[in-house]
């Protein structure tokens, strides 16, 4: 919630996607606003989110010294509740709101995928392929993700 009745600033809102929600681009899930100047639809973040993951890792049949594992996963959740006046995805018109250009819905999104994890000498490297099976029309997706982690 914003301080003293003010809206939550955009830099303090939740943006999900990329490593936090595979199958969707970074900031690819959640409220979006139509940018009148360019015609693009930009992420504006939400004030509420819920994201979960179910993942199973397994050996890929190579010697353990190679440090390779396989993974299958499903990510699911939602990001919503932008403070701007908005219209739900798929709704016709924008009753009572002039020039509605914000799209926001609490609909569940979900993706499924598989990955390869390598415990390299430089830290864990991960290659994931994911496909969104539930998404809003305005969400931005990606099918491949490469990430580098660290060990503590």
Give the pLDDT score at 151: 52
Q: What is the DSSP string of 32-56?
A: EEE-TTT--EEE--BSEEEEEEEEE
Examine the pLDDT at 21 and tell me if it is beyond 70: yes
Give the pLDDT score at 87: 59
Give the pLDDT score at 68: 96
Each residue's pLDDT tens digit, 112-145: 999 999 999 888 999 999 999 999 988 999 999 9
Domain locations along the chain? 3-148
- Cβ pair 131, 113 in contact under 8 A: yes
Closest CA to 22 of 74, 93, 96: 74
Each residue's pLDDT tens digit, 82-92: 888 765 544 44
Q: What is the separation of C-alpha 144 from the centre of its chain, rounded to a whole number of angstroms?
A: 13
Each residue's pLDDT tens digit, 39-53: 678 899 999 999 999
Name the burial class of residue 56, with classes exposed (0-12), middle (13-18) and buried (19+) by CB atoms within 10 angstroms of its CB. exposed
- Cβ pair 109, 134 in contact under 8 A: yes
Mean pLDDT to the nearest integer, 25-37: 87
Specify the CATH class of 3-148 in words.
mainly beta
Report residue 40 as tokens.
Answer: 């693009």
Give the pLDDT score at 88: 57
Each residue's pLDDT tens digit, 50-109: 999 999 999 999 999 999 999 999 999 999 988 887 655 444 444 444 455 788 889 999
Examine the pLDDT at 32 and tell me if it is beyond 80: yes
């Amino acid at each position: 919630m914003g301080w003293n009745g003010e809206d939550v600033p955009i830099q303090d809102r939740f943006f999900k996607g990329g490593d936090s929600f595979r199958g969707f681009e970074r900031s690819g899930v959640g409220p979006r606003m139509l940018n009148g100047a360019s015609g693009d639809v930009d992420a504006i973040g939400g004030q509420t989110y819920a994201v979960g993951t179910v993942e199973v890792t397994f050996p890929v049949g190579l010697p353990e010294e190679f440090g390779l594992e396989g993974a299958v996963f499903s990510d699911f959740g939602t990001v919503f509740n932008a403070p701007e006046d908005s219209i739900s995805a798929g709704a016709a018109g924008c009753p009572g709101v002039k020039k509605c250009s914000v799209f926001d819905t609490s609909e569940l999104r979900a993706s499924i995928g598989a990955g390869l994890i390598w415990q390299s000498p430089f830290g864990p490297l991960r290659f994931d392929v994911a496909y969104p099976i539930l998404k809003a029309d305005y969400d931005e997706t990606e099918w491949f993700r490469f990430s580098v982690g660290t060990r503590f």
